[in-house]
Amino acid sequence: MPIIVVDQEKTLAALAARLVKTRTSKAAKEKAAQAIREANPGLDLDRLRPGMIVIVPRSPEARDDDPDDEPDVVNEALSPLFDAIRTELDALIRTANSALEADTAEREATAEILDADAVQAAAQNDLLLQYNLERVRQTLADDEQSAVEITESLINGTEQWYTDLDDLSTLW
């Protein structure tokens, strides 16, 4: 939604009159005023002061030259920030996936060493070595499961952040 800065208007009716077309019915002006009131629940719209920032819902009664033709300073200021955040979130997901792939490759290489003929032959005659090999295999399996869960959690979190950014971008 666009915003507007109160100029000399003292009342909500005066502000609504500034925003709607000249030949608009009284009912349409009242409807516009009510929409402004609903969009700004925390503001005292009965005591406007110059410089107050008011959210203005779009309406068919809005003037063609105000506020839609005015530059949207909020959007211009925040769009680059939101784009940068999205870029960083994309990079975070790529990094997490790359780390998971590297960890998986390292675990697979370790498992291959544990399964090597020489290690298996040595374990045949050493019960403690057999026990330790099984513990390492179990640790590798547990690590794999944890790594996948953590990466999935991170990706789900970033998806929520994307949703939150989209929601934030609709506030003005």
**pLDDT tens per residue across span 104-134:** 999 999 999 999 999 999 999 999 999 999 9
d(CA 148, CA 103): 10
Residue 56 to residue 58: CA distance in whole angstroms: 6
Q: Is the per-residue pLDDT at 68 higher than 80? A: no
Per-residue confidence at 65, pLDDT binned at 50, 70, 90? Answer: very low
45 confidence band (pLDDT: 50, 70, 90): confident
Write down the mean pLDDT value for the chain.
85
pTM score, two decimals? Answer: 0.55
Alpha carbons 56 and 16: distance in angstroms, whole number? 9
| Residue whose structure tokens are 């989209």 | 166
The DSSP bridge partners found for residue 53 are 5
Q: State how far the Cα of 108 lies from the Cα of 117, in Å rounded to an integer.
A: 16
Cβ atoms of residues 67 and 34 within 8 Å: no
**pLDDT score for 171:** 67
Quick one: pLDDT at residue 118? 95
Answer with the residue of higher pLDDT: 65 or 2.
2
pLDDT above 60: residue 70: no
Question: Highest-confidence range of 54-63, 77-86, 104-113, by mean pLDDT?
Answer: 104-113
